[in-house]
Structure 1
Amino acid sequence: MKKVLILSALIAGALFSNAQSVADGLLYTGQDLKGTARFRGLSGAFGALGGDLSSIGSNPASSVVFANNYAGLSLAITGNENDTNYFDNTTNTSINDVNLNQAGGVLVFESADNRKISKFALSLNYDLNRNFDNSINARGTSPVSVSQYFLNNANGIALDNFVVRPEETVSELYQFLGQEFGFGAQQGFLGYESFLLDSTDDSDIDNTNYVSNTGTGSFNQDYLVQTSGYSSKISFNGALELDNKWSLGINLNSHVISTERFTSIQENNSNTDASIDNVRFNNSLFTDANGFSFQLGLIGKLTNSLRVGATYESPTWYTVEESQIQDIATSSTNGSTAVVRPEILNLFEPYRLRSPGSVTGSLAYIFGKQGLLSIDYSSRDYSQLRFNPDDSSLFRDNNSFASENLQRAASIRIGGEYRINNWTLRGGYRMEESPYENEAIMGDLTGYSLGIGYTWGKTVLDISYDRSERDFSQQLFDTGLDTRAGVQNSMDNIVFTLGFNL
């Protein structure tokens, strides 16, 4: 007899969860082009320049380049569009959003004449690292049913564990399976309880083999992924300038991730050997994380025109908490329906995630008061992505996959600025290599930017437009229906920054 655990807080200790994957680790720890309109107008090529609030997040020495106290905030209008190809059928989705993209300020302190430290600065800046608002829809006819996902999770688990006793509810059994056997057993139970699966021998409670009721043939599928939320960074910065030539800085960064992902698959078939002809399976995953990192930066004036920069960014150490709720509904060829809605929120064991650090080298040339050219080159070893604790078989597999399939990737950012009286024109280009050795999983990112700025008195208004494109593949499920859909993603951003020289 199974023991049903009744808790005031419904906790399921998952032994397996398709939420805690390498792909999600990259999603949580990645960064989009962020920051002020000036920073984005140059595609982020600011490592040797400084004098911009968002450049502080790229090179901590940037704050002391400011000539005076300064404060600013930025508003972004974001468009995210996906063309998803699934079995030769292409579906377009798009989503638009408006958010506070950046806010911060810097205090600059001049030293007395003939001091070794000619100037120092303190600053605080907020940047939205990544906006998770997105929608992907894959529609097509597949030779593999979603029932294979439930079948793979059910096989090997005794039928006795899937039978709801008269003294218990579906919710209690679902909860029990999560606590005693893990996430995979819950998936098998959902498949069995919704009649998507049958035991090969209903008379044997120890039987561990199951069959699908969706038959053989083709399956019309509509798979939807909708995400929302954000990843942000607050930088506490200090920097100093030595001999009016070398600037040194440090950032202590606080990171926050908050996101929700809703996935749904609708499947129907007309197979002659099927007893179930329609399935709808929904999942909602909630993720919250807090992290810490630090940065060290240097900017040097080799001549009045030539600048160099260097930045070390440490790994970011996150503590991640995830929860999930699920439901499934099926209809049979005889007209009956089944809905399984446990209404149990699975609270997965918190885990630690370490994103890889990076190093950046920068070079800039200043054309007096008329303009500038700048270039940044960064390198990040994604194979160092790590999940902990490593006594978990899932996390060991994740770490092994990262070591074997992720790579060191470079990014290049190039930007320029030209001034005409109170106006400034800007442009930039960037390229980021794929973190995957296999670019069929994710390709390189390319992007460009344009910008304009106007200064009157002590006030500055900057506007920028940037666009980026990247191809990647979206895997539907981690087992059974592990087909990948090809996605062509493009992002467009318009950013407005209002700045004040104080």
Structure 2
Amino acid sequence: MKSKYIFFAVSLLAALSANAQETYENAKLAGEDLNGTARYVGMGGAMEALGADVSTIGTNPAGLGLFRRNNISVSGGLVMQSNGKEFANGNKTNPSFDQIGGVYTTRTGQKSFLNFGFNYHKGKNFDYILNAANSLNGSSQNKQSYIKGMLGDESTGGFYVDKNKNGEYIGYVNATGKSVAYTWSQIDYLYWNTLIPSNNAANPTYNYEPATAYDFNRSHTGYIGNYDFAVSGNLNDRVYLGLTFGIKDVHYNAYSEYMERFAGSKGAKVVDDRKITGSGFDITAGIIVRPVAESPFRIGAYVKSPTWYDLTTSNVTSLAYYNGAVNPNKTISNSYDYKMWTPWKFGFSLGHTVGNYLALGVTYECEDYSRINSRINDGGYYDYYGDYYESSSPDRNMNEHTRQVLKAVNTLKLGVEYKPVTNLSLRLGYNYVSPMYSSDGQKDPGIASFGTAYSSTTDYTDWKDINRFTLGVGYQFQQFTVDLAYQYSAQDGDFYPFSDIRNVEMNKKDPATGKITKVLESNTATGTKVQNNRSQLLLTFGYRF
């Protein structure tokens, strides 16, 4: 199943009664950017053992236990894309409101505190424009839909095509089943009702258009907002404990145009507008320990629960077929609810200070994205008091695909802060984030899942590792602080307009004789190297009292 060339699923979910989402769409919501206060970003986020910054509320809330005074802060700046061309409503430079929060401290003993904190920060900024273009050498997006129809059965990753009572082509489970196949996607519907059938209504034949090249543009906008509420305790200035309850607010928008050029002046254009909204919550627990009373050296550890997301996705997708004559076009739209659970996250950190002029931090995190749990909403129940609870169950087919395509991500954060004078701080940081995607992963259009059925695009990108470089400066004047940080994030990826299929055996009917023969069909996409390189300028104003 991890083959780059034959990737159709052959197993089926016995009964699907609601909705789930596709692996690559889920992956867009997983993980977090490096963001928060300018001090936190300037040190590469390596403050999970050093603490005393409100941004640690979402990673290691024990860091709030190191506060000795009340504190409030607010942050904002600019996010700038360094590559690509502007498209549709996407801009390469965007303002961003990134953080606001504070910590309230209460003394419970001579060396003990009980602190309370709240912080909002933009956990993920989706503002990004993706551009890709390349040759296709006879393969095409519509050929993928054609091959699925020729397979003729959901159990082999395809569907059986027939007309419904409204005269539309529909993909069914098999030649005798009356249920629509879960392998029949929205993009399949568009192609089978515009391009693939011939104009002979009495005795139609089916074929595909080979493409010479493609051009693709997509603008992503939106964000995931994190709202964290925490309590943290300090025991004799040696042990620090913290607990955070987090709420996430999802707003993701993507608008894309995909154009294929066929022989002559013919071509096809798919326009897709998709939105994902919803909310989620998680819980984070952490600890920081100073093992030696006379030393400022600290060890931190923390664990974050899955984020339990309840989401809604909607799309409007249209296809225009330019064949020089009739130029048929078709539009489809859908909306549905689904759930997604992210994996557990574990972190370990070290921190050390030298006098009041040097701070050093290192953090390691691990999160296994192959364990993302795509969930099917399968109804609910009322308890004894009349309260309604919605239930869900795993989408086993899609989750199996996720385990093959995604993998565990390891993150290393390094940070240093140096004070040449008492009220001036200079900071430097670095992050390495290992790849989330397998090198041979791809979308599987033959999975029997609602994630496939509601798919309106076929493209995917296998993103590689991330390198982040940060630097910052901070100035303190009496009770006020001003911090500035710069971050540069670099990531390469391989973009594909559709999945590869090679040497799939199927039946093909000769329109003249009616004779059916066995043929081997292939459809291989040309990948394009893409980049997601971004810069961020971040400014934080703080007040201590």
Structure 2 equivalent of residue 500 of structure 1: 543
- Alpha-carbon spacing, 1:268–1:393, altered in 2? closer, same or farther (3 Å): farther
* SS in structure 1 at match of 2:92: strand
Counterpart residue identity of residue 494, structure 1? L
Structure 2 equivalent of residue 98 of structure 1: 95
Whole-Å Cα distance in 2 between the matches of residues 481 and 263 of structure 1?
Answer: 21
1:327 is the counterpart of 2:323:
no
Of residues 461-470 and 481-490 in structure 1, the stretch that sits farther from structure 2 once superposed is: 481-490
1:31 is the counterpart of 2:32:
yes
Structure 1 equivalent of residue 429 of structure 2: 428
1:347 is the counterpart of 2:335:
yes
CA contact (8 A) 1:150 1:190 kept: no
- The gaps in structure 2 that reach 5 residues or longer are 1-15, 153-158, 174-178, 379-391, 442-461, 501-522
Structure 2 equivalent of residue 461 of structure 1: 482
Of residues 485-494 and 460-469 in structure 1, the stretch that sits farther from structure 2 once superposed is: 485-494
Structure 1 equivalent of residue 416 of structure 2: 416
Counterpart residue identity of residue 211, structure 1? N
- Alpha-carbon spacing, 1:396–1:485, altered in 2? closer, same or farther (3 Å): farther
Structure 2 equivalent of residue 210 of structure 1: 206
Shift of 1:393: 12
1:452 is the counterpart of 2:473:
yes
Q: 1:126 aligns with which of 120, 126, 140?
A: 120
Q: 1:279 aligns with which of 262, 268, 275?
A: 268
Whole-Å Cα distance in 1 between the matches of residues 340 and 365 of structure 2?
Answer: 22
Structure 2 equivalent of residue 388 of structure 1: 375
1:107 is the counterpart of 2:109:
no
Structure 1 equivalent of residue 132 of structure 2: 138
Identity %: 24
C-alpha offsets along residues 64-98 of structure 1, whole Å, 9 cap, x if unaligned? 211211101100210124469xxxxxxxx972111
CA contact (8 A) 2:314 2:334 kept: yes
CA contact (8 A) 2:376 2:394 kept: no
CA contact (8 A) 1:78 1:493 kept: yes
The aligned length equals: 457
- Alpha-carbon spacing, 1:27–1:298, altered in 2? closer, same or farther (3 Å): same
CA contact (8 A) 1:354 1:387 kept: yes
CA contact (8 A) 1:450 1:464 kept: yes
Of residues 378-387 and 433-442 in structure 1, the stretch that sits farther from structure 2 once superposed is: 433-442
TM-score, normalised with respect to structure 1: 0.83
Of residues 461-470 and 301-310 in structure 1, the stretch that sits farther from structure 2 once superposed is: 301-310
- Alpha-carbon spacing, 1:390–1:476, altered in 2? closer, same or farther (3 Å): farther
Structure 2 equivalent of residue 20 of structure 1: 21
Structure 1 equivalent of residue 362 of structure 2: 375
Counterpart residue identity of residue 46, structure 1? M
Shift of 1:346: 0.4
CA contact (8 A) 1:16 1:394 kept: no
Counterpart residue identity of residue 357, structure 1? W
* SS in structure 1 at match of 2:404: helix
Whole-Å Cα distance in 1 between the matches of residues 487 and 125 of structure 2?
Answer: 15
Shift of 1:397: 2.7
CA contact (8 A) 1:153 1:187 kept: no
TM-score, normalised with respect to structure 2: 0.76
Of residues 20-29 and 152-161 in structure 1, the stretch that sits farther from structure 2 once superposed is: 152-161
CA contact (8 A) 1:34 1:40 kept: yes
Shift of 1:131: 0.5
C-alpha offsets along residues 111-162 of structure 1, whole Å, 9 cap, x if unaligned? 2438xxx111011101101111111111122121232143245444666526
CA contact (8 A) 2:282 2:308 kept: yes
Whole-Å Cα distance in 2 between the matches of residues 98 and 378 of structure 1?
Answer: 29
CA contact (8 A) 2:75 2:100 kept: yes
Whole-Å Cα distance in 2 between the matches of residues 76 and 153 of structure 1?
Answer: 47
Structure 1 equivalent of residue 146 of structure 2: 151
Shift of 1:436: 3.1
Whole-Å Cα distance in 2 between the matches of residues 16 and 224 of structure 1?
Answer: 31
* SS in structure 1 at match of 2:395: helix
Structure 2 equivalent of residue 316 of structure 1: 307
C-alpha offsets along residues 184-212 of structure 1, whole Å, 9 cap, x if unaligned? 26434422433x212597435xx8x7212
* SS in structure 1 at match of 2:184: helix
Structure 1 equivalent of residue 224 of structure 2: 231
- Alpha-carbon spacing, 1:123–1:292, altered in 2? closer, same or farther (3 Å): same
- Alpha-carbon spacing, 1:363–1:163, altered in 2? closer, same or farther (3 Å): same
Of residues 318-327 and 120-129 in structure 1, the stretch that sits farther from structure 2 once superposed is: 318-327
C-alpha offsets along residues 215-242 of structure 1, whole Å, 9 cap, x if unaligned? x4x5231111211111121111001111
- Alpha-carbon spacing, 1:437–1:327, altered in 2? closer, same or farther (3 Å): closer
CA contact (8 A) 1:154 1:187 kept: no
* SS in structure 2 at match of 1:198: coil
CA contact (8 A) 2:252 2:275 kept: yes
Structure 1 equivalent of residue 250 of structure 2: 257
Shift of 1:102: 0.6
